[in-house]
Amino acid sequence: MNTACYLDANIIIALIFPTDTHHKNSLERVHHLNIQGKKLVTSTYALVEVTRNTLHTISQSEQGKYIFAEPLPQYIQLLQNLKPNQRCEALLNYIISYITKNFHIEVIEQESLYQIETTNNTKIAKLFHEAIKLSWIKIRTKDLLHIAIANLLKTHGVKCIITMDKTDFEPIKETLEKDHNSHKKYPT
């Protein structure tokens, strides 16, 4: 099985916006990982972040603050006449097509993340149970969920998390590597 790297939402957002301060670095990293034959994956959780961030940015792009990577601008114009929930769904589909076609990023979702487990007579989804077990890590909840997802996607070969979030991930990098049997790397 190929080694896979889990891409945090901020990498995908940077790929979508050439005006993002991390765009060039994200392009180079993703290109380098593709050349190395690494499998690139992300989650539907990350896509929620990307879609929400992108919708929020659309109004700012009209003011010239942000520019979308080609061919996204033509799709963004098509969204204007849709109802808000339809706009979200259409944008999600554009994003998935864009990252799959241009960067070979696979969106992985597996039902087992949502299997119900029981702890102290309380039912809890496996994903959230994993996040609770990792709650000792000093990091924001949204980032903790990315770590939990990446950890549960080991069956897909995930051995690293790629992120531009150095502020939150760099201080915990060594802790994560030690705690996860030192074979799992979390490069930032």
Q: Tell me the per-residue pLDDT of 124-136, one tens digit each, with 9 for 90 and over.
A: 999 999 999 988 8
Residue 17 domain-assigned (yes or no):
yes
In the structure encoding, which two tokens stand for residue 164, read together? 């531009």
Task: Name the domain count of the chain.
Answer: 1
The DSSP H or E segment spanning 119 is strand 116-119
Residue 169 domain-assigned (yes or no):
yes
Q: What is the pTM of this model?
A: 0.83
Angstrom distance (rounded) from CA 73 to CA 17:
10
Residue scoring higher pLDDT (168 or 84)? 84
Mean pLDDT of 60-83: 80
Give the model's pLDDT for residue 30.
97
Give the model's pLDDT for residue 187.
46
Residue 66 domain-assigned (yes or no):
yes
| Residue in 132, 133, 183 with CA at minimum distance from that of residue 160 | 183
| Residue in 31, 37, 38 with CA at minimum distance from that of residue 15 | 31
| Residue in 115, 75, 81 with CA at minimum distance from that of residue 95 | 75
As a whole number, the mean pLDDT across the chain is 84
Residue 105 domain-assigned (yes or no):
yes
Residue 69 domain-assigned (yes or no):
yes
Owning domain of residue 47: 4-110+153-179
Residue 76 domain-assigned (yes or no):
yes
What's the CATH code of the domain at 67? 3.40.50
Give the model's pLDDT for residue 93.
93
